[in-house]
Each structure stands twice: as structure tokens, then as C-alpha cells.
A and B are shown apart, each in its own frame.
Chain A
């Protein structure tokens, strides 16, 4: 599908800096989005989610921004820590679909001490 967001396969940041991970989703009918973190040898771990009727949601040190106009999702991590090093995936759920999550390309976040 069309991709308008800037997707970087790997993002390297200094410890303490803020990180921004981008994702372009594929379906205009998607109504729910999730960011997952996946560490080596583990399954995806839920970080934060957002419904399509919102454009921003904040959690602890993380913020998700949704731009439906350009089908773009971003994850902001404040004060990035070494423990944040992992692969991050965005996932979308299409409205009316009864449960299938469609995962985007992952971004590997490397935190330099």
C-alpha cells in the first residue's frame, strides 16, 4: 500500500535523548492502533494504543501521535534508556474486522550509553 511516513529500519539515539519512531499504516478504515516492543527472543509486548477518534495519547514516558490524513503513526519515547533497546512495531486493526492486527515494518531502536 501507499507509504507516506518516514520509516527508518534502525534508529540510534543517545541515552537520555528523546526517540521518535514512525510508522505508515495501510488502511484508511483502520480504527485502532497499537505499538509493540519486541526484545530479542521474546514475543511482542504491548506499549500503548490509540483509537482513530484521537490524535494523541500519552503513557509513562511514551506518547503516540496519529495523523489520519496521511495515515501516519508515531511513537515518542522520552529520556530513552538502554532498556528501551528493542524492535518496535506498529499494528492496525481495520474497522469491522473482528480481531486481525496488521503489523507494520519494525524499527530497531539502539540506545547508546
Chain B
């Protein structure tokens, strides 16, 4: 079974430029999460999708961040314009249904490491 696939693995951009990250969750997983992980910190939730619906985006900085999950499968997270403080690893995770599955939790992708210069 393929895991959660994210691309690109690394991205370096200048501040004020736009950037997008892509996530392909595990097949059949209805719930998809985007987390941001700052250097030396634990991941923090940005947004959660149930199928194609964003059901928790309270932590998403909506002035510059946007996300979509068309058709309830792949998802894209966008930042426009990027700021220096956005430098972090952006992780995507998925689970079969709402909440972590016992004995399984969520499955995380390898993340996209964003550097804004």
C-alpha cells in the first residue's frame, strides 16, 4: 500500500512569491490533514478535510493561506504571498475516518520543507 505522497520534497522561494504543496492521501482515506512543523517543534494542525469539505480551518491563516481538496482525494495547500516566517515543514496526513484510528493513528507523508528567503 502506498503511503501518503507529498510533493515537492523541498522548495526555496523568495518572500512575497506564491508556493503550492500537493498531497495524495492513502486510497480510501476520507480524512485529510495539513500540519505545519516549525524547526524543533511538534506539528500543528492547519486544516482538516472530511472528503472535500474543510471542517476545521480555525488554525489556517486565511489572509495568505488557502487549501482545496477537489473530489475528496488529492489536496493542495497554497501560500500567497509567502513570508519569511512561513519557513517550515508542511506535513500532510490521512486517516480512514474522522480522528486517529486505534493502533494506527494518522499516516503522515514525508512533508515539504519550505524555505523562504
Contact = CB atoms under 8 A, between A and B. Distances in A.
Q: Do these two chains interact?
A: yes
Interface of A: 32, 34, 36, 41-46, 49, 51, 89, 91, 93, 98-101, 103-106
Nearest to B9: A41
Contact of A43 (B31, B44, B108): B108
B60 to A, nearest CB: 13
Interface of B: 4, 31, 33, 40-45, 48, 55-56, 91, 93, 95, 98-100, 102-111
Given A44-B43, A105-B42, A100 B56 contact: yes
Contacts of B33: 99
Contact of B104 (A42, A46, A100, A105): A46
A44 B108 contact: yes
Contacts of B99: 93, 98-99
